[in-house]
A and B are shown apart, each in its own frame.
Chain A
Amino acid sequence: MQEEFDNLEEFSREDTENALPLGWLILFIGLIVFGIYYVYAYTPAFTGWTQEKQLEQSMQDMPK
């Protein structure tokens, strides 16, 4: 039995040469920037934030 090939050319017609959608690119870069901020803000060595301190704080905030 003969086999037909899969034509990769068909997979890459001209209308597949699209650039990255702008909205997606903004999301991509935005998440990288936010990630850097987040790591800075919640790393004990940078800002002193720790989960123990957060727990103590939440115990104090409880209505007495």
Chain B
Amino acid sequence: MNNEFHYDYKTVQGFVLSAIFWGVIGLVIGLLISAQLWDANLNFGEYFSYGRLRTLHTNVLAYGLGIGAEFGLFYYIVMRLTKRPLVLPKLARFHLWLFNAGMVLATLSLFIGMNQSLEYAEFEWPIDIAIVILWVLFAINVLGNVFTRKEKNMYVSLWYVIATIITVAILYIVNNLAIPSTLFKSYSVFAGVNSANVEWWYGHNAVGFLFTTPILAMFYYFLPKSTGLPIYSHRLSIISFWSLIFAYLWTGAHHLVYTPLPDWIQTLGIAFTLFLIAPSWGSVVNGYFTVDRDWSKMRTQYLTKFFIVGITFYGLQTIQGPSQGIRVISSLIHYTDWVPGHVHMGTMGWVTMVICASVYYMIPAMYKTTIYSEKIANTHFWLVLVGQLMFSITMWITGIQQGAMLKMTAADGTLQYTFMETLVRNYPYWQMRTVAGIIFVVGMLFFVYNVLMTIKKGNDLAKQAA
């Protein structure tokens, strides 16, 4: 088929490069805070103390690396699946600049200590308004493309993109409702138990709609593209989609088990949480059965293993997560380092794995060339895999240890251990975690190098052709 237009890939690439830039910053901060936990001397004054930097780490990676990459990959996927260029390419370019300007301001604001003390929603109100504007710009282009699409059928990835856009907007606005008192300070409209309830409704769905639905959109698009194997069942993909987004919004209360939150809300949240296993595994099964037609792809197409390992961690994550929601398990692992173990199997093993694989597919496709080096990509794969497994496993061990110690009672019924005693037992595991983090970050540097070299290769080819 021929057509006259060309897609605006420069904006897409700009987002990928921005995501890489913010990603490296976020990862380096992560390494530093991991070491601060076992050596207090690594806290340097107010600005470089753990308290400041931890917030920076989560926000820079979630919003800079995660959302940055999602903006770029979504523009790409949407253009391809709607078979038309973006309705407003200039707006998308403006979106790219605003994103980076916003990230600079947002990062600085956290660095100087502006913080509304809601986890993953730390930004003060002026930044919140900027984020909402940014999101609307993004939505205009994506929804504009969907409404004017040249392809009638909507592939499941598009549904995931739409769900992401609508849900994040609702979550972000509701949880950040606040009354400003000065330019840099505001007070949330929710208080006490209500605040906690709204916060974790938001918090859990941030996981759902920043770290699950966008990544599934990529998975469903790039797995078939890179293997040449179409998805096993469209029906399963659509049923999983609707049941996933229906159930997700009800589950936030599993973060507040055994708290003053009313019992019935906790129970309802836990029931929906357990149900989430089914729609999540719908996608896992669909992925496995897709590659099941030809497992030799695991060897012959280097990206297949990224996607299959990624979806496997998603599968583990969506069994572990619902288990954590159960009362008896929550009471053991909550308030321990088990939770960062869970978090990073998701963010490193699933989210970053699939984003990297998608970028590996997309960048050469945009230049009509091949990846700079499959060998480097494979090295990257094994390093991040080892780093992530080591990270998660050490945290699970020390988490269970700490949970058990916190609960243990002496013969007379008093607590056996003080909090400090349970804490110092974490030290060796925290040190191992820093090593794991270094391995992961080195792996990511291989990725960055490979992407930059592929872009260079593509540009050289274009010059030769011209």
Contact = CB atoms under 8 A, between A and B. Distances in A.
B232 A42 contact: no
A5 B151 CA distance: 10
Nearest to A62: B413
B272 A35 contact: yes
Nearest to B153: A8
Contacts of B272: 35
Contact of A42 (B231, B239, B263): B263
Contacts, number: 104
Interface string A14-40: 011111110010011001101110110
Interface in B274-297: 274-275, 277-279, 281-282, 285, 289, 293
B231 A16 contact: yes
Nearest to B284: A24
A3 interface: yes
B6 A16 contact: no
A52 to B, nearest CB: 9
Nearest to A18: B233
A10 B236 CA distance: 18
B268 A39 contact: yes
A2 B274 contact: no
Chain B contact patch, size range: 35 or more
B457 interface: no
Contacts of A64: 413
B236 A18 contact: yes
A24 B271 contact: no
Contact of A50 (B235, B263, B279): B263
A56 interface: no
A24 B258 contact: no
Interface residues of A, number: 38
Nearest to A26: B278
B267 interface: yes
Interface in B137-163: 151, 153, 155
B441 to A, nearest CB: 34
| Secondary structure call for the B interface | helix
A3 B230 contact: no
Nearest to A30: B278
Contacts of A16: 230-234
B86 interface: no
B81 interface: yes
B373 interface: no
A2 B465 CA distance: 14
Contact of B234 (A17, A32, A44, A49): A17
B6 A3 contact: yes
Nearest to A6: B80
B235 A20 contact: yes
Q: Which of A10, A15, A38 is the most central at the interface, judged by chain B CB atoms within 10 Å of its CB?
A: A38
Nearest to B290: A16
A35 B275 contact: yes
A31 B263 contact: no
B431 interface: no
A43 B263 contact: yes
B323 to A, nearest CB: 13
11 contacts: A2-B2, A2-B6, A3-B6, A6-B80, A8-B155, A10-B230, A16-B230, A16-B231, A24-B281, A34-B274, A43-B263
Given A5-B83, A38-B271, A50-B263, 18 more contacts: A2-B2, A2-B6, A11-B224, A12-B230, A13-B230, A15-B230, A15-B293, A16-B231, A16-B233, A18-B235, A27-B281, A28-B279, A32-B275, A35-B274, A35-B275, A38-B267, A44-B264, A62-B409
